[in-house]
C-alpha cells in the first residue's frame, strides 16, 4: 500500500499542476474577454454619442432657421412700425417687436448652448476614437502574446496529461476510485499527510490506533473528519522531487 500511496501522491501533484495550468488559461482568456468587452462598450458609447451629436446638430439647424425667421419677422414689424398712423397700432406693433426680440434673444441663447454642446461632444468623440484605436492596438498585441502563452500552456498540459494517464494506470482501481470520488466532492487535495496524530488536511485529531495503522502504511486509511486519504508524512520525504517542477501545496 505504501507504493500505491506514493503513486497517488504523484498523481495528485500532477492533478494539482493541471488545475493550476487550467486556471492560468482561464485567467488569460478572462483578461482578453474583459478587454474586448471594454472595447465593445466603448464602441457602443461612441456610436450612441454620434447619434446624439447628429440630433443636437439637427436641433441647432432648426434654431438657426428660427433665428433667421424671427429676424425677418422683426425687420418686417420694424418697417411696419414706421408706417402706422395711430397710437393704438403703434403700441400693438411695438409689443410684437418686444416679443420677437425676447424670442430672438432666447433662441440665440439656446443656439449658443447647443454650439457648446456640439463642440464638447465632438471633442469627446475624437478622444474616444483615439482611445479605441489605441485599445485595438493594445488588444491585438495582447492577443498575440496570449496565443503564445496559451500554446505553451497547452503543450505543458498535454505533457502533464500523458504522465497523468501513466500514473492512473499504475494505481489500483480501488484506490483510484476512492481518490476520484474525494476529488469530485472536495476540489483540491484528496490525499494528505498525517503528522503528530493529526490530519494535515483538516487539522483534526486522528484516533491513536488509526494513526498507528497510517504509520505502518499497509492499509488505505481515511480521515474520519474530512474523509481524505491519509499517509504518514515521513513516507513522502523521499518522493517530493519525483515530479519535475512540483511544489508543496497546502491543504485546502
Rounded to whole angstroms, the maximal C-alpha distance in the chain is 127
pLDDT of residue 112: 94
pLDDT of 21 over the 60 cut: yes
pLDDT of 247 over the 80 cut: no
Instruction: Tell me what the mean pLDDT of segment 15-26 comes to.
Output: 93
Sorting pLDDT into bands at 50, 70 and 90, what band is 143? confident
- Can you tell me the distance from the alpha carbon of 227 to that of 31, in angstroms, rounded to the nearest whole number? 36
Residues 231 and 164 in one domain: no
Residues 102 and 135 in one domain: yes
pLDDT of residue 111: 94
Per-residue pLDDT tens digits for 83-114: 888 888 889 989 999 999 999 999 999 999 99
With beta carbons less than 8 A apart as the criterion, state whether 251 and 201 touch: yes
Q: Which three cell numbers stand for residue 98?
A: 418686444
Residues 146 and 207 in one domain: no
Domain residues for the domain of 58 are 21-169
**Residue tagged 492560468 (cell numbers):** 24
Residue 54: partners with Cβ closer than 8 Å, 6 or more residues away: none
Residue 223: partners with Cβ closer than 8 Å, 6 or more residues away: 192, 194, 199, 201, 202, 204, 206, 229, 230
**Domain assignment of residue 183, yes or no:** yes
pLDDT of 123 over the 70 cut: yes
Sorting pLDDT into bands at 50, 70 and 90, what band is 235? confident
Residues 98 and 187 in one domain: no
pTM: 0.64
- Can you tell me the distance from the alpha carbon of 159 to that of 152, in angstroms, rounded to the nearest whole number? 11
- Can you tell me the distance from the alpha carbon of 162 to that of 173, in angstroms, rounded to the nearest whole number? 18
Residues 118 and 37 in one domain: yes
Q: What is the DSSP string of 102-162?
A: HHHHHHHHHHHHHHHHHHHHHHHHHHHHHHHHHHHHHHHHHHHHHHHHHHHHHHHHHHHHH
**Domain assignment of residue 160, yes or no:** yes
Instruction: Tell me what the mean pLDDT of segment 121-129 comes to.
Output: 92
**Domain assignment of residue 1, yes or no:** no
Instruction: Tell me what the mean pLDDT of segment 48-77 comes to.
Output: 93
Residues 72 and 195 in one domain: no
Residues 106 and 147 in one domain: yes
pLDDT of residue 101: 93
**Domain assignment of residue 178, yes or no:** yes
Residues 114 and 95 in one domain: yes
Residues 94 and 112 in one domain: yes
pLDDT of residue 232: 95
pLDDT of residue 251: 39
Residues 40 and 89 in one domain: yes
Nearest to 172, CA basis, from 219, 129, 206? 219
Residue 91: partners with Cβ closer than 8 Å, 6 or more residues away: none
**Domain assignment of residue 14, yes or no:** no
**Domain assignment of residue 246, yes or no:** no
Q: What is the DSSP string of 21-83?
A: HHHHHHHHHHHHHHHHHHHHHHHHHHHHHHHHHHHHHHHHHHHHHHHHHHHHHHHHHHHHHHH
User: How many distinct structural domains can be found in the chain?
Assistant: 2
- Can you tell me the distance from the alpha carbon of 138 to that of 155, in angstroms, rounded to the nearest whole number? 26
Instruction: Tell me what the mean pLDDT of segment 225-247 comes to.
Output: 72
Residues 47 and 165 in one domain: yes
Query: The domain that contains 27 carries what CATH number?
Result: 1.10.287.1490
Per-residue pLDDT tens digits for 177-194: 999 999 998 778 999 999
Sorting pLDDT into bands at 50, 70 and 90, what band is 82? confident
Residues 64 and 98 in one domain: yes
**Domain assignment of residue 241, yes or no:** no
pLDDT of residue 239: 64
pLDDT of residue 242: 47
Of 139, 169, 199, the domain-final residue = 169
Amino acid at each position: 500500500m505504501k507504493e500505491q500511496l506514493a503513486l497517488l501522491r504523484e498523481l495528485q501533484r500532477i492533478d494539482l499542476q493541471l488545475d493550476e495550468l487550467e486556471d492560468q488559461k482561464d485567467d488569460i482568456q478572462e483578461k482578453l474577454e474583459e478587454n474586448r468587452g471594454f472595447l465593445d462598450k466603448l464602441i457602443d458609447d461612441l456610436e450612441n454619442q454620434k447619434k446624439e451629436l447628429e440630433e443636437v446638430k439637427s436641433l441647432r439647424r432648426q434654431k438657426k432657421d428660427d433665428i433667421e425667421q424671427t429676424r425677418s419677422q422683426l425687420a418686417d414689424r420694424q418697417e411696419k412700425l414706421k408706417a402706422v398712423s395711430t397710437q393704438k397700432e403703434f403700441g400693438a406693433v411695438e409689443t410684437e417687436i418686444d416679443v420677437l426680440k425676447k424670442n430672438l434673444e432666447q433662441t440665440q441663447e439656446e443656439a449658443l448652448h447647443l454650439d457648446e454642446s456640439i463642440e464638447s461632444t465632438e471633442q469627446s468623440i475624437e478622444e474616444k476614437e483615439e482611445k479605441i484605436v489605441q485599445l485595438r492596438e493594445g488588444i491585438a498585441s495582447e492577443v498575440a502574446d496570449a496565443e503564445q502563452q496559451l500554446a505553451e500552456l497547452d503543450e505543458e498540459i498535454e505533457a502533464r496529461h500523458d504522465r497523468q494517464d501513466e500514473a492512473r494506470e499504475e494505481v489500483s482501481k480501488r484506490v483510484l476510485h476512492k481518490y476520484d470520488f474525494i476529488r469530485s466532492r472536495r476540489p483540491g487535495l484528496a490525499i494528505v499527510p498525517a503528522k503528530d496524530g493529526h490530519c494535515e488536511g483538516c487539522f483534526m485529531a486522528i484516533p491513536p490506533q488509526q494513526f498507528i495503522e497510517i504509520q505502518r502504511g499497509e492499509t488505505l486509511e481515511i480521515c474520519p473528519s474530512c474523509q481524505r486519504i491519509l499517509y504518514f508524512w515521513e513516507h513522502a520525504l523521499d518522493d517530493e522531487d519525483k515530479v519535475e517542477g512540483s511544489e508543496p501545496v497546502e491543504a485546502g
